[in-house]
Amino acid sequence: MKSIRVLVVDDSATVRQVLSGVLSAAPGIDVMGTAADPLFALDKMNRDWPDVVVLDVEMPRMDGITFLKKIMAEHPTPVIICSSLTEKGTATAMQALSAGAVSIVTKPRIGLKQFLTESGHEIVSAVKAAAQANVRRLAPMSAPPPRYGLDAIPAAPVQAMAETTDKVVAMGASTGGTQALELVLTTLPRVCPGIVIVQHMPEKFTAAFAARLDSVCAIEVREARHGDRVRPGLALIAPGGRHMQLMRSGAQYHVDVIDGPPVNRHRPSVDVLFRSTARCAGSNALGIIMTGMGDDGARGLKEMHEAKALTLAQDEASCVVYGMPKEAVKLGGVERSLPLAAIPREIARYGGA
């Protein structure tokens, strides 16, 4: 099998040295070079283009976000952002994901060398996942996607809205999911079922991700808090580092945000959300599994299917990584596979049924 050729771009000589050592030691990865800033990197890339770029954000002559946008516009390539992101810098991480970064590895400002050495498996896994990404699906959108207005579905009378509160949409995504979820949620009408979402994302990133979506969506989007009610017109995103379960109290749904060990190597885990949705909502739920590497969510979606929920998967052609949906299809838990662009209409139709 051909090795994954990686270029490391970082203004820190220590980071370049340690990252190169960690990646070079991994089977199937070849560090073809390093660069101290994007202009040096461009010179190297024009002579020999890498399969994956590991990129810092704060660098001289050109910042990493500008360089990322240039790469995605001119020669779409999987890019992993590896940056020291503080609370204040989390918005930069959202910019990077929106501009087309496949994933983000957060490096601390203190104990950097030790962190990079100890977190080698995470960085290697990120590179291998990035190499499989269909990055043309991550190219930044030149204009916001069309939004279904309230006239796109039949106007629901007040009495009907009371009935839809018993419906819930559970969604799970990983690699490529930030842009996929943005397309879906920004396209939804304000009147839609309550939505619960697990997007594989580190702690502290989910609040900024939810805030960004809330600023561009007709529906309300926010990071879930323990005990939040699931209601129409609201999407709750599981906090990074914690699991989210759907619970039912009488006729209403709410979420429990809980600690616990990683499931399928993830916390939050899509399987945790889907399994709880199968148990608490059954046939009153719609489950959607989207782009992502691995198999998290596949078994949970099958349990939703067996509980008579409607289950959908994003199709291979529109996925950045066709991993999670593929595994769900193989297990027999998917009723239909749809292009990403068709998912918002399906959610709107489900809410109006």
**What is the CATH number that goes with domain 4-138?**
3.40.50.2300
Would the pLDDT of 154 be above 50?
A: no
The answer to whether residue 63 is catalytic is no
How far apart are the C-alpha atoms of 56 and 34, rounded to whole Å? Answer: 12
Determine the distance from the C-alpha atom of residue 133 to the mean position of all C-alpha atoms in its chain, rounded to a whole number.
13
Kindly report, residue by residue over 51-83, the tens digit of the pLDDT.
999 999 888 888 888 999 999 988 999 999 988
Q: Are 186 and 213 in contact (CB under 8 A)?
A: yes
Q: Residues 296, 315, 318, 337: which is the catalytic one?
A: 296
* 296 catalytically annotated: yes
pLDDT the model gives residue 161: 26
| 233-282 residue pLDDT tens | 999 999 999 999 999 877 789 999 998 889 988 999 999 999 999 999 99
Q: Is 174 a catalytic residue?
A: yes
CATH 3.40.50.180 in the chain, residue ranges = 150-352
Name the CATH superfamily housing domain 150-352.
Methylesterase CheB, C-terminal domain (3.40.50.180)
Please pick, among 37, 98, 103, 200, the residue that the annotation labels catalytic: 200
What residues does CATH 3.40.50.2300 cover in the chain?
4-138
308 Cβ contact list (under 8 Å, min separation 6): 282, 283
Instruction: Reply yes or no on whether the pLDDT at 127 is more than 90.
Output: yes
Token representation of residue 305? 């299917």
Catalytic residue among 83, 98, 103, 174: 174
With beta carbons less than 8 A apart as the criterion, state whether 226 and 257 touch: yes
